[in-house]
Each structure stands twice: as C-alpha cells, then as structure tokens.
Structure 1
Amino acid sequence: MKTTPDAIKPTASFDLADIQQANDRQNQGAWFDVLHPVTSENTGMRVKIAGPDSEQHRQARIKLQNKLAKFKAGSVTGREEASIDFLANCILDWEITEKGQALPFSHANACRILSAGTWIRAQIDAFAGDRSPYFEAH
C-alpha cells in the first residue's frame, strides 16, 4: 500500500456529499454586492449569480462555446457580445434600480447592466468564477 508523504496529506476531511451540497448551493446562487470602482464602497446594487459548477453556469458555458466556435479569428465584437451574453445567463436575480424604480429582471436588462461599465462586468465575472461562497470551511 502506497502512503502519502506528510507534505501532501489532506488537511481536512472532504466527502463526496460535501461536493454535492456545494453544487446544490451553486444552483441556488449567491448574492454579490457591486462595489464602486474607485472607493470600493457598496453601490447598493446586488446581483445573485449562479456558481461556476451550477447547471445554469454549465448551460451558459455550452452556449458560449457554441457561439465562439462560429466566429472567425479576429472577430472581437462578436466575442465581446458572447462574453456579455454568457455572464447574463449566469445572473439569477438582482436588486438594481434605474431612475429610482426597480429594474425588471430580464436577459436584455442583464446585458445592459454588463455593458454599462466594464468595471461592473469585471466584478460580476470574478464572482461568477469564485467557488468560495459555496463551500463551508472544513
């Protein structure tokens, strides 16, 4: 029987059920507070995003890959639109206002939000790929 050297022995017990529970939480999504790009203050905008291992994220990823496969080399505009569409498909809900009124949840509005500022898209993109909100510390 092979033994694992001390340097790479697991530091915590991890079970297959832990992974499934994390996947279930990712399907439910997690709330993310959009921060001001300079001051890092909370903007009051909140977005609920499906986790990177969720079914929603998987479907969005497949749709993105199919779109990207159709583009010719050098088609930057189409790739940017596909990237925005991908992230929009990972958004499950939000608390965002426009002119003092709640912004209705829709794919088209999600694309508008992601196109409003690259700093918003960058924050949402980073959170969409983060697994840490879905795993409990061991």
Structure 2
Amino acid sequence: MTAKTDKKAVDLSSFDDAKAKHEAGIEIAIVGPDGKTPMGFSIRAAGPDSERAQTAQEQLADELIEQENLTRLKAREAAQRGIRYLAKLTMGWAPNIILDGQELEFSEENAEKLYRRHRFIREQVDKAAGNRARFTKG
C-alpha cells in the first residue's frame, strides 16, 4: 500500500526499549489476600512481548497438538495451562519463601506449586505480567 500523504513517517524504533523491558521483566511486590498488606517478597516476571512468553505459548500449543487435544479445553484444563504459562514467565523471587515449613527456592516447578496453592499471588502476577503498560514505565 503506497498512498501518498503529507504526513511524516512513524518511527516504530521507539518501541524497541519497551521490548527490552519485557525481556528484563518487572518486580511485582506481593501483597496479602486483603490487597494491601505487603508480604515481604517480590516476584520477577517477563512481559507478554518477551521471547520467554512467545516460547511458553509455543510449548503449550505444541503439547496440545502432540496430545491431539485440539477440541475445546475444559475450564479446569485451561486454568492449569494458565498456571503453567505464568510459571514459565516467572523469572524468580526474592527473598526465598517458606511453604510447608521448607524454604522454597525459585524454579519453574516451584512457581507452579506456589500459583496452584495461592490464587491471590497468582492473580497479582498474572495481572501485572499481562499489563503492557507496566513494561513502559521508567
């Protein structure tokens, strides 16, 4: 499409910095179930435009194809895939947390465990990590 206009061209390179922020991730200060009491730890998550997010989406889609499960997902299956996707976006937490009396160091598997067990934490990370505006600040 080559319509002649008098307007200047739009330079999209200004979005390259935002892409780098998606890759670096953001710190999400976790608050308690009341929505305001600081829990004393934060979770770092990559953004929706990161390579990590793209790879996670592709891996989960490949699993569906391999299982030949291309029919409509049941709500529980979709929720479980959402937890696995969020765990793949999670880059770490600080400081380590204690769950069931044991220190839980960061791993993708432990992130899944945390998100399955504590919906209020999962929802905070999901909301922040999916918000592109959070990756354009500062």
- Evaluate the alpha carbon distance shift between residue 37 and residue 23 of structure 1 in structure 2; reply closer, same or farther with a 3 A threshold: same
The answer to whether the aligner puts 1:54 opposite 2:50 as a matched pair is yes
| % identical equivalent positions | 26
Instruction: For residue 34 of structure 1, report the CA deviation from its aligned partner.
Output: 1.1
> Would you say the 8 A contact 2:29–2:42 is kept in 1?
yes
- Evaluate the alpha carbon distance shift between residue 118 and residue 39 of structure 1 in structure 2; reply closer, same or farther with a 3 A threshold: closer
Unaligned runs of 5+ in 1: 5-13
Three-state SS of the structure 1 residue aligned to 2:59 is helix
1:123 equivalent in structure 2: 124
Instruction: For residue 74 of structure 1, report the CA deviation from its aligned partner.
Output: 5.3
- Evaluate the alpha carbon distance shift between residue 73 and residue 135 of structure 1 in structure 2; reply closer, same or farther with a 3 A threshold: closer
Letter in 2 for 1:94: W
> Would you say the 8 A contact 1:22–1:134 is kept in 2?
yes
> Would you say the 8 A contact 1:29–1:49 is kept in 2?
yes
> Would you say the 8 A contact 2:47–2:53 is kept in 1?
yes
Three-state SS of the structure 1 residue aligned to 2:56 is helix
1:98 equivalent in structure 2: 98
Instruction: For residue 63 of structure 1, report the CA deviation from its aligned partner.
Output: 2.3
> Would you say the 8 A contact 2:43–2:90 is kept in 1?
yes
Distance in 2 between residues matched to 1:72 and 1:29, nearest whole Å? 33
Distance in 2 between residues matched to 1:87 and 1:61, nearest whole Å? 10
2:22 equivalent in structure 1: 26
1:76 equivalent in structure 2: 75
Unaligned runs of 5+ in 2: none
> Would you say the 8 A contact 2:83–2:112 is kept in 1?
yes
Deviations 1:37-67 (A, max 9, x none): 2151111121000011110011112223344
CA RMSD after TM alignment: 2.5
Q: How many residues align?
A: 128
Three-state SS of the structure 2 residue aligned to 1:37 is coil
Three-state SS of the structure 2 residue aligned to 1:125 is helix
Letter in 2 for 1:113: L
> Would you say the 8 A contact 1:71–1:79 is kept in 2?
no
Instruction: For residue 120 of structure 1, report the CA deviation from its aligned partner.
Output: 1.3
Which residues of 2 match residues 29-44 of structure 1 at below 5 A?
A: 29-44=25-40
Instruction: For residue 131 of structure 1, report the CA deviation from its aligned partner.
Output: 1.4
